[in-house]
Amino acid sequence: MLSCKALTELVTDHLERELSIGPRMSVSLHLSSCPDCRAYFGQMKWLVKLLRQMPAEPAPPKVSDKLLLFFRRWHQASKMAARHRTRTLQLLPADRV
Ligand SMILES: [Zn+2]
């Protein structure tokens, strides 16, 4: 049976209906036998419903700027890491690739 910790990691996906049948059945089975997780699930369900009712507002400019800067740094680091991996593979002897 699914542990309580494992269930908490699947709750959001379960609520978003992104789980395949196997994990979904495991979550349902656990919820039917664990009152604590049932309470947690109920709270998360309520929270998701509440958040969906909130109007979507654009992020304040400072937040947008920080997110954009973070994304650019992450993107640059990803490109450099990919280049490094490619270079590393090219430098390795053929029998080690
Ligand atoms: Zn539980």
Q: Is the pLDDT of residue 84 over 70?
A: no
Q: Are 1 and 30 in contact (CB under 8 A)?
A: yes
| 8-12, 43-47, 55-59, 88-92: the lowest-pLDDT one | 88-92
Ion ligand 1 residues within 5 Å by Cβ:
4, 34, 37
Q: Domain residue spans in the chain?
A: 4-53, 57-87
Ligand 1: distance of its center to the CA of 6 in Å? Answer: 9
Ligand 1: distance of its center to the CA of 50 in Å? Answer: 23
pLDDT at position 85 is: 60
Buried b (16+ CB within 10 A) or exposed e, 36-58: ebeebbeeeeeeeeeeeeeeeee
